[in-house]
Amino acid sequence: MKQKITLLPTRRSVIEASLVAGAAVTLVSCGSGDKAQDLPESTGTATDAIDAAKLPVQGTASVTVDGRGYLLYRPDESTVLAYTSVCTHQGCKVGTGSGEVFECPCHGSQFSKTDGSVAQGPAKKSLARFAAAIEGDKVKIYL
Ligand code: FES
């Protein structure tokens, strides 16, 4: 006669499994490398970023305002888009890139110039966008 044996996990095996799962989650978190943005809360204050003449239509620029880096893209005569230049992967400074994307020199992430979304990883999060406008002869970012 066969006897049905059910193997129940011991208390020790449950604890060990939990520790292994926790370690795996920790490794996955470290592996993705996504870095929380360290940006100031927007106060809505218009801050001069660059002379408008230095940002031609279809042009990009990398600027520093109040000690923080930003990327600018001017898709047409009257529109300017502004993003942080802090890469969402591991915090390197994203460059102005070429074509349709900003490029991070550290691990090759690319971000759309039109909305800051990830065009190529390893970054998984979009670049934070800031309001910007051309006012007179200046490009202003609203910080
Ligand atoms: S820091 Fe790794 S791709 Fe930008």
Residue 43: predicted pLDDT: 65
Tokens 């090759």 sit on residue: 108
CA 77, 142, 128, 109 torsion-angle sign: positive
Q: d(Cα 123, Cα 114) in Å, to the nearest integer?
A: 17
Q: How far is the CA of 139 from the centre of ligand 1 (A)?
A: 27
Question: pLDDT at position 25, please?
Answer: 34
User: Which protein residue's CA is at the shortest distance from atom 2 of ligand 1?
Assistant: 107
Which amino acid, one-letter code, is at 41?
A: E
Q: How far is the CA of 90 from the centre of ligand 1 (A)?
A: 5
Smallest CA-to-CA distance from 95 within 81, 82, 110, 80 is with 110
Contact 119, 110 (CB under 8 A): yes
**CB-based burial of residue 32 (10 Å sphere; 0-12 exposed, 13-18 middle, 19+ buried)?**
middle
Q: How many residues does the chain have?
A: 143
Q: Which pLDDT does position 80 carry in this prediction?
A: 93
Q: Where are the domains of the chain?
A: 46-142
What CATH architecture applies to the domain 46-142? Answer: 3-layer Sandwich (2.102)
Question: Mind listing the pLDDT tens digit of every residue in the chain (143 residues)?
Answer: 444 443 334 343 333 333 333 333 333 333 333 443 444 456 678 888 899 999 999 999 999 998 999 999 999 999 999 999 999 999 999 999 989 999 999 999 999 999 999 999 999 999 999 999 999 999 999 88
Q: Which atom of ligand 1 is nearest to the CA of 35?
A: 1
- In the prediction, which pLDDT does 3 show? 43
